[in-house]
Structure 1
Amino acid sequence: MKTILNLYFSTLKVLICSTLVCITVLIFLNVVLRYGFNSGLFFSEEISRLAFVWLVFAGAQLMLHENGHIGVDMLTSRVSPKVAKGMLVLSQVLMLYVTWLFLQGSWKQTLINLHVGAPSTGVSMALFYGAGLVFSVLSFGLITVQLLDSLRKPAGTYTQQISDNPATLAPTQESGVLK
């Protein structure tokens, strides 16, 4: 199971990089064609916007997996391990609730825009709102696994996952320091 997840997130990293390259190439070509040849790619802005939305949600999914989001431990570093574990569990339950709300909203917007075409390309706008659906479903599963892992571990043994990236700074040992 772990190898499947590693393969999924490695593929996601490749897709994020290729999406960035695609957006850059489309916008660059459109600018060159407009100013150099007085023409342009009619679909460039729309495809770039769609790719950017999927890029943001894919990046958010990756950061959720790698715990790459900004964390402030000013309060949790000053309380007992049991209270800190309770706060972690509470935050994960709240994240599940917000993800559920996001899933409901994305589902409604996808259904509303299912037969609405984009102005230039005619591509269904449900593809635009479908990014929220995919993100919500995958994030709900990931947060659930993290919550179960937090509940299973004894208080005081939770350590934040550090990514393999050497540019990532190691957490400080000082209590109350913003990370």
Structure 2
Amino acid sequence: MKTLIDSYFLVLKTLVIACLVAITCLIFTNVVLRYGFNSGLFFSEEISRLAFVWLVFAGAQLMLHENGHIGVDIVTRRVSPGVARCLLALTQLLMLYVTWLFLDGSWKQTVINLHVGAPSTGISMALFHGAGLVFCILSGLLIFTQLVRNLMGTLPAHTPAEPSAAEHGAVE
């Protein structure tokens, strides 16, 4: 199971890199064509925007998995580990609720825009809004798994690194 999950997140990292490369190549090519040859790629902006949206959602899910988002631990560092686990569970429940709200909105937008084409390429705008749909489903599963592991006590405790001497204002 761990191999499957690691493979999935490796695919996500590859998707992020592919999106970055595609965006860079499309925009660079379009700039060169516009300024050098007075022409351009009519689809460059739409494909770049679509790749950027998928890149953002894939990156957000990677950070969710790696606990890389900004966290405020001013309270949890000052309470007992049991209370910290309860606060983490409360946070995870709130995240599941917000993910549900986002899933509901993404679903509605995807259905509404299913037969709406993008202006220059004609690609269904459901592909644009579907990124949120995919993100919510997969992130909801990830958050739920983390919540269950937290409640069972198998989620490793997140202990922030001790501040260095430089952060305390000491001169080395």
Output the TM-score relative to the length of structure 2: 0.91
Q: Does structure 2 retain, via aligned residues, the 8 Å contact 1:33–1:39?
A: yes
In the other structure, the counterpart of 1:11 is: 11
In the other structure, the counterpart of 1:136 is: 136
Query: Unaligned regions of 5+ residues in structure 1, if any?
Result: 162-170
Output the TM-score relative to the length of structure 1: 0.88
In the other structure, the counterpart of 1:159 is: 157
1:83-162 matches, within 5 Å, as 83-153=83-153, 158-160=156-158
In the other structure, the counterpart of 2:170 is: none
Give the share of equivalent positions with the same residue, in percent.
70
More deviation, 39-48/79-88: 79-88
Structure 2 residue matching 1:68: 3-state secondary structure:
coil
- Once the two structures are superposed, residues 59-110 of structure 1 have per-residue CA deviations (whole angstroms, 9 ceiling, x without a partner) of 0011111111111211111112221111000000000000000000000000
Query: d(CA) in 2 for partners of 1:122 and 1:129?
Result: 15
Calculate the aligned-residue CA RMSD, in Å.
1.6
Q: Give the number of the structure with larger relative contact order, counting CA–CA contacts within 8 Å between residues 6 or more apart.
A: 1
Structure 2 residue matching 1:116: 3-state secondary structure:
coil
Query: d(CA) in 1 for partners of 2:142 and 2:88?
Result: 15
Structure 1 residue matching 2:105: 3-state secondary structure:
helix
Query: d(CA) in 2 for partners of 1:53 and 1:11?
Result: 17
The answer on 1:24 being equivalent to 2:37 is no
Shift, 1:147, TM fit: 0.1
State the AA in 2 paired with 1:91: T
Query: d(CA) in 2 for partners of 1:58 and 1:85?
Result: 27
Query: Would you say how many aligned residue pairs link Structure 1 and Structure 2?
Result: 164
Query: d(CA) in 1 for partners of 2:15 and 2:101?
Result: 27
State the AA in 1 paired with 2:94: L
1:39-78 matches, within 5 Å, as 39-78=39-78
Shift, 1:18, TM fit: 1.2
Large movers: runs of 4+ above 4 Å: none
In the other structure, the counterpart of 2:37 is: 37
More deviation, 136-145/76-85: 76-85
Query: Unaligned regions of 5+ residues in structure 2, if any?
Result: 168-172
- Once the two structures are superposed, residues 7-29 of structure 1 have per-residue CA deviations (whole angstroms, 9 ceiling, x without a partner) of 01011111111110000000000
State the AA in 1 paired with 2:72: V
In the other structure, the counterpart of 1:173 is: 162
